Copies of this chain bind each other. A is one copy, B any other.
């Protein structure tokens, strides 16, 4: 059973919900899920609607065309997705491989509706993991002086593989704006702190020094400003004076895995909308 999913945002006004649900109904679609949100301060309307394509009168490749006049009428920002056209994901990793392993195990168990044809790393260790899971691996050693050049090769490779989404699974490189602009709101990072606390390097060491009683992890879309993109998901865990820096790292890794995998899953299920450097995450 295949489903179509519409993600919509526009200035709030009367009649949007009725218009969209009618569009589906009059074409004989069965709504599987519909969710909306209005940010009154921003006067913005958000909607996610998902319907079964069984018996739907419009062919999948005609839906965009059929919906356009309605979208134009309400000046919508919108995107259309199909559950049977899973996105292609590339995972970028460095030395710490727990998030990479975690994503691949979830992928194998069917928790992530996508294809993962490629793993990229600036460290050799990730290759063994890629091999275990039978996924192509590309190593790019990144130095300050060759970063733009190497990134361009990465972009070409991603393009060759038809990659839609880039997941930074503890990838310890800061991307240039060139790379980021190629994948706007399509690069998902995990930062190992409860943002906006402890931006930048060594957040566990920062947290340890500060003596916080709770640590966190944050998954967000990547923008040019470091660790400042729209937050998708966060979670926290309690620590005490007994926890060494190593304990913080160990406890935090469990958070990182869970928080990143939730964010990736929601992105792949087309549940996330960005605005004002924040996210709406429909559940």
Contact = CB atoms under 8 A, between A and B. Distances in A.
User: In the complex, which range does the number of interface residues on chain A fall in?
Assistant: 35 or more
A216 interface: yes
A158 B234 CA distance: 43
A233 B21 CA distance: 31
A58 to B, nearest CB: 15
A278 B240 CA distance: 11
A213 B231 contact: yes
A64 B68 CA distance: 36
A37 B235 CA distance: 26
Interface in A109-127: 109, 111
Nearest to A18: B25
A196 interface: yes
A236 interface: yes
A31 interface: yes
A154 interface: no
Contacts of A101: 105
Contacts of A111: 250
Contacts of A234: 212-214
A197 interface: yes
Copies of this chain in its oligomeric complex: 4
B194 A210 contact: no
Nearest to A265: B250
Contacts of A31: 14, 17-18, 36
A187 B236 CA distance: 27
A122 B26 CA distance: 54
A85 interface: no
10 contacts: A14-B28, A19-B25, A37-B241, A40-B244, A111-B250, A194-B214, A210-B278, A211-B277, A211-B278, A212-B231
Interface of A: 14-15, 17-19, 21-22, 24-26, 28-40, 98, 101, 105, 109, 111, 132, 194-198, 210-214, 216, 230-236, 238, 240-242, 244, 250, 254, 258, 276-281, 283
The 4 closest A-B pairs by CB, nearest first: A211-B278, A18-B25, A197-B197, A18-B21
